[in-house]
Amino acid sequence: MRTKTLPILFFTFWLLTTGKSVAQNQNDSAQISRLYQEALRHPAAYTWLEYLCQKIGGRLSGSPQAAAAVEFTHQVMDTLGLDRVYRQEVMVPHWVRGRAEVGRAISARFGTTDFRVCALGNSVGTGPGGLLAPIIEVHHFEQLKSLGTAKVQGRIVFFNTPMNPTYLRTFQAYGETAQYRFNGPSEAAKLGAVGVIVRSLGSSLDPHPHTGSLGYQLNVPKIPALAISTLDAEELHQLLQKDPGLKFYMESHCEMRPDKLSYNVVGEIRGSQYPDEIIVVGGHLDSWDLGEGAHDDGAGCMQAIEVLRLFKRLNLQPKRTLRAVMYMNEENGLRGGKRYAELAEETQEKHIAALESDAGGFSPRSIGISDDARGFDPYRAWETLFAPYEIRLENGGGGADISPLRNQGTVLMGLRPDSQRYFDYHHTAIDTFDKVNWRELQLGAATMAAMIYLLSEYGTP
């Protein structure tokens, strides 16, 4: 009897479990297909992004445009029939650029040459008097240290380090090279430098300087720092080869003012079965001032709102609570991300997962997943659901704004779009709406929505 019953029992069990799983899977496939189709039929994120970029524009923390962006996204989410739209107060740094910067080589042999420059974010300014000093070129910190105070004192240090072109993923090159922008000014100041010029963190040779934050170290003199376009960095390098004795004049009018009150903006759909389990999808609402903050990160914010719109439009009632969060101040302080996590801790909110889009509105290629407790393997069960959209799931990912949630055990995820063009636009005057393709943006939003759908149905797999 055993030998006959057991196989039948097993078969029945297999049928019950596998049968259910297949049906479940088919339903998930169908829902995900609906999300993609709707996102491509009605490109709402793209339309919102046009407004955010072209009617509001660059929106540095503390600026009037940042306030307008808070109001705009609040209003947009108010039209979606969400359960709640609210703001979280957060004090943010208020750095202002002031008048256009000057970067000028003055050579006894070659006369003066003006370069395309911009102040690094958080930099002190030279003030109207400017700063004139000899300039010395270095390519890495070891070289700087080997020069020592003797050769650095009283000079402007020119960090001329190109991004490594051979990495497939441009963020890897950015990660390696951004240290010169972030730490270069203090490292140079420790040796007595009076100013810093940093080669822009751009993938291409072009005339656009890239701004971005520097970080002054404690108890080190704060010296002014400018970014120079990659093309101009090459030209300055050539000039220095021919006339190492040339002087450099830099002028910037930026300053850090007292902190200002600003906001994260949050839209919420309450979960039907597990309302206390919260899933965040977000981007950062602030941007640099030079361009329109289109790819960085208007795209991510509009995609996050699009995820909620897709749920409402398709009458998908999430089992868990979904929140679209527009984080304030990622670019020069991360105050919004930190504040959100603090408040979550204070109110004992349980965030099971957070997905950020902050790598541009380009064609999506994968979602990176950081699950400290379970690791990546369980997520492989979802891979086939993304395969029709040519999206991979991969181990490791997240985003700056959601990273403070990691302490609470939240699973962190990041949308990973194709990265080849990102560092042509990043932190420049040409990060504008026209650089975003509507299909790529909407496919990113749909990809996010698909993952949020699965998380809302199953929690983590």
Name 84's Cβ contacts closer than 8 Å, sequence gap at least 6: 266, 267, 268, 270
Under 8 Å between Cβ of 356 and 283: yes
Cα distance between residue 358 and residue 427, in whole Å = 13
Q: Does 41 bind its own copies (CB under 8 A)?
A: yes
Catalytic-labelled residue, pool 101, 251, 330, 331: 330
Q: Does 418 bind its own copies (CB under 8 A)?
A: yes
Out of 24, 27, 384, 437, which residue is the one contacting its own copies (CB under 8 A)?
437
Contact letters for its own copies, residues 251-290 (x by CB under 8 A): ----------------------------------------
Contacts to its own copies from residues 390-409, by CB under 8 A: 390, 392
Name 342's Cβ contacts closer than 8 Å, sequence gap at least 6: 404
Nearer to its own copies, 36 or 340 (CB): 36
Q: Does 380 bind its own copies (CB under 8 A)?
A: no
Contact region with its own copies (CB under 8 A), list: 76-84, 134-142, 351-359, 389-397: 389-397
Out of 277, 292, 424, 431, which residue is the one contacting its own copies (CB under 8 A)?
424
Under 8 Å between Cβ of 451 and 393: no
- DSSP string covering 348-389, please? T-EEEEEEE--S-SS-EEEEEEE-TTT-SGGGGGGHHHHGGG
Out of 25, 171, 421, 460, which residue is the one contacting its own copies (CB under 8 A)?
421
The DSSP code for 42 is S
Out of 172, 363, 408, 460, which residue is the one contacting its own copies (CB under 8 A)?
363
Out of 367, 443, 450, 452, which residue is the one contacting its own copies (CB under 8 A)?
443
H helix or E strand, kind and range, residue 118: strand 117-119
Out of 31, 40, 140, 461, which residue is the one contacting its own copies (CB under 8 A)?
40
- DSSP string covering 384-441, please? HHHGGGT-EEEE----TTTGGGGGGT-EEEEEEE--TTHHHHTTSTT--GGG--HHHH
Nearer to its own copies, 6 or 387 (CB): 387
Under 8 Å between Cβ of 309 and 39: no
- Report residue 133 CA to chain centroid gap: 35
Nearer to its own copies, 379 or 422 (CB): 422
Out of 162, 438, 460, 461, which residue is the one contacting its own copies (CB under 8 A)?
438
C-alpha to C-alpha distances, 81 to 60, 84, 85, 267, nearest whole angstrom:
29, 8, 10, 10
Contact region with its own copies (CB under 8 A), list: 21-29, 32-40, 96-104, 339-347: 32-40
Q: Does 36 bind its own copies (CB under 8 A)?
A: yes
Number of H helices, E strands in the chain: 11, 16
Contacts to its own copies from residues 160-189, by CB under 8 A: 165-166, 168, 170
Nearer to its own copies, 205 or 220 (CB): 205
Residue entry with tokens 């960090």: 159
Under 8 Å between Cβ of 327 and 355: no
Phi, psi of 327 (to 5 degrees): -80, 140
Q: How many Cβ atoms are within 10 Å of 439's Cβ, its own excluded?
A: 12
Nearer to its own copies, 342 or 390 (CB): 390
Under 8 Å between Cβ of 59 and 431: no
Q: Which residues pair with 104 in a beta bridge?
A: 114, 249
Q: Does 154 bind its own copies (CB under 8 A)?
A: no
* CA dihedral angle for residue 29, residue 30, residue 36, residue 42, rounded to 10 degrees: -170
268 is catalytic: no
Out of 203, 303, 410, 456, which residue is the one contacting its own copies (CB under 8 A)?
203
Nearer to its own copies, 173 or 278 (CB): 173
Shortest separation between residue 117's beta carbon and its own copies, angstroms? 24
Nearer to its own copies, 43 or 300 (CB): 43
Out of 420, 457, 458, 460, which residue is the one contacting its own copies (CB under 8 A)?
420
Nearer to its own copies, 141 or 171 (CB): 171
Contacts to its own copies from residues 80-119, by CB under 8 A: none
Under 8 Å between Cβ of 279 and 413: no
Which residues make up the interface to its own copies (CB under 8 A)?
Answer: 36-37, 40-41, 165-166, 168, 170, 203-204, 363, 365, 388-390, 392, 418, 420-421, 424, 437-440, 443
Which residues are identified as catalytic? 330
